[in-house]
């Protein structure tokens, strides 16, 4: 009888441990459905040269992700399905503010961006040639 009780205790403890591992795993790793789409593109200057090291910031309500462009000016970010806006910033260039971006499930939205060269003058500092400076 004592052996039977010992086996029951071991079985019960094993079941509790397995359940705890399963629950812990469910909370440790975000489900793939949350990161169902992506955005990718290339950042260029006005002469179509690729801009290396530009910071691409993608935002939505309660979400923000920043990626840097690579050696060929390329970037890519996996994102939850939703609607976003984005900005691109790089030294020597005017900040780019992107409009509405919609990420759909199992698709990659392509966004290619052309940055304007910043013009430095005093006393105003930096301005862009084709649009007024934001204050």
pLDDT tens profile 64-108:
999 999 999 999 999 999 999 999 999 999 999 988 899 999 999
* Residue bearing the bigger pLDDT, 35 or 28: 35
Contact between 44 and 73 (Cβ < 8 Å): yes
Superfamily of domain 32-128: Carboxypeptidase-like, regulatory domain (2.60.40.1120)
The answer, as to whether pTM is greater than 0.85, is no
Give the integer Cα–Cα distance in Å for 73 and 85.
Answer: 20
Percent of the chain with pLDDT over 90: 56
Residue 16 pLDDT > 90: no
């Amino acid at each position: 009888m004592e052996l039977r009780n010992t086996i029951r205790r071991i079985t019960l403890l094993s079941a509790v441990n397995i359940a705890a591992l399963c629950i812990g795993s469910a909370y440790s790793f975000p489900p793939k459905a949350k990161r169902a789409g992506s955005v990718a593109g290339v950042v260029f200057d006005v002469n179509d040269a690729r801009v290396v090291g530009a910071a691409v910031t993608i935002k939505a309500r309660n979400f923000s992700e920043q990626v840097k462009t690579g050696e060929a000016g390329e970037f890519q970010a996996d994102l939850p399905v939703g609607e976003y806006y984005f900005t691109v910033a790089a030294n020597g260039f005017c900040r780019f503010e992107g409009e509405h971006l919609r990420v759909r499930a199992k698709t990659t939205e392509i966004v290619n961006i052309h940055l304007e060269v910043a013009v430095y003058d005093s006393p105003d500092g930096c301005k862009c040639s084709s649009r007024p400076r934001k204050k």
